[in-house]
A and B are shown apart, each in its own frame.
Chain A
Amino acid sequence: MHKRVIFNNRLLPYLLLLPQMMITLVFFFWPAFEAIRQSVLLQDAFGLRSEFVGFENFAHILSDPNYLTAMGVTIVFSTTVTLLAMVPALLLAVLADSGIRGASLYKTLLIWPYAVAPAVAAVLWLFMAHPSIGIIGKALNAAGIAWNYQINGGQALTLVILASAWKQISYNFLFFLAGLQSIPKSVIEAAKIDGARPVRRFFTIILPLLSPTTFFLLVVNLVYAFFDTFGVIDALTKGGPGTSTVTLIYRVYIDGNHNLNLGSSSAQSVILMVIVIALTAIQFRFIEKKVHY
């Protein structure tokens, strides 16, 4: 059932829509169109010479073994970041919601990391994990574990995953907490009276009622892991060692911004665009069916 708003003037609704449309056109559609246009061109850095090459940029990038590696890294990276950012956030939210003493203090403290800029977050992790100046890095080496993320690909990937997930926990915590608080207390109390234990209450009542929030966060976190994490990677590992922490978005950034290869970078953006459109469509088509509003 949709509410109908009656406008007397036929023009007014369009006029009210116009600013939003303008913003969408200028900041979303125009760049996207530019990316598609650039992706079929071969240009020098200064834009002095430009040549139409059709799908050559795509063919080149898709046959590059390093690009396929980056795709694998991205899959591992985004699923782990999403999981590591959501599960602890849910756990913390449930704990903070359970009426412990000083709950509001915990809540405030837990929200803080969200205010930290990605590059600063990365530097914090750098100071903890650096093998010779970081507290944790030094401790690990002293304990006989050869920790050096600058030369060990697996360790480097672990580090960027941890830093990226840590950054997002606060955001998820905030939404989970709001979601939890909007669950009617009467439902939970009824379950208590029926003798359901906390774990059972959580899985049969809280989790299903939380599903709209969880679904929203799933989409947001995947998009975050895909697009917003290159700052962390750039500050921590610059994609290294080897190419073990190069994700698709980091490669777009490097090829476009450092290597000034706009054709290839645009082709990669278009590929990313297609992937994210497909992912979102799948999520809305299949997962949303299981969500109860």
Chain B
Amino acid sequence: MAATGTYTETFVELIRRASAELPAEVAEALRTGREAEQRGGLASIALNTILENVDLAREASAPICQDTGTPVVWVHHPTGVSTRAVKADFEAAVREATARTYLRPNAVNTLTGANTGDGSGRGIPFMHFEEWDEPRIEVRMILKGGGSENVGAQYKLPDGKLGAGRDLDGVRRAVLDAVVQAQGKGCAPGVLGVCIGGDRVSAFEASKRQLLRPLADTNPMPELAALEERILREGNELGIGPMGFGGSTTLLGVKIGVLDRLPACYFVTISYMCWAARKAGVSIGEGGELTWLS
């Protein structure tokens, strides 16, 4: 189905915001991290550069990071909205945002190695649609970079080497191991989106959806809230630090969700989001009025 164009310009602006404007809460967490690092050390220099970069990107409406990632998008819509039309409009917006250099041409034909040139490709952008009872459309997106995507991981418990059984302490062990494996390669300090349970498909989607949560929120499930807090604390004790230079700021947040599972399977799925934890959202009312979401 061809793009109707109804939402294209709104989505271009959504992408621009995601690419150029780091959420205030993430910048705040980076500043807090900087306070904890030794002044003049490599970790502190790195965080200074990062924070300067965040300001420059916002002022120039230019990408925070040249790897503008995969746009991963969640759409909630009322009955009667054509999801094909919304998808076509979003794809058109990706091509337009790429032409305006809000995005890098970031889609490569896997078989030929040729860049598609316009940012869109098979499976890119990646979109999820859910119908809901509200009359408005809500679109939330992240830009998920490739360096951090490469350090994502999926563990299946039990894991003898980690002493990880099928319980929340096993989850803790798997997640901390993933942080050590990642070192600075995912552009630490990172935010972890974690899914316990599910299958190999549903769990990665659910782990990424966790990245939409505000950094400062509290998990409504008390046992997961406690686990998030513990992994955040222990992850920062690992000493990996910004960029893997060593230091006390390794993680900015840990967000954990849960799906039910098959009797045979117990997956722990980790999506590592780099410090440039880019997300944006917009609500489109019945009459087309826009509310930008943080």
Chain B associates with chain A:
no
By a beta-carbon cutoff of 8 Å, the part of chain A in contact with chain B is none
By a beta-carbon cutoff of 8 Å, the part of chain B in contact with chain A is none
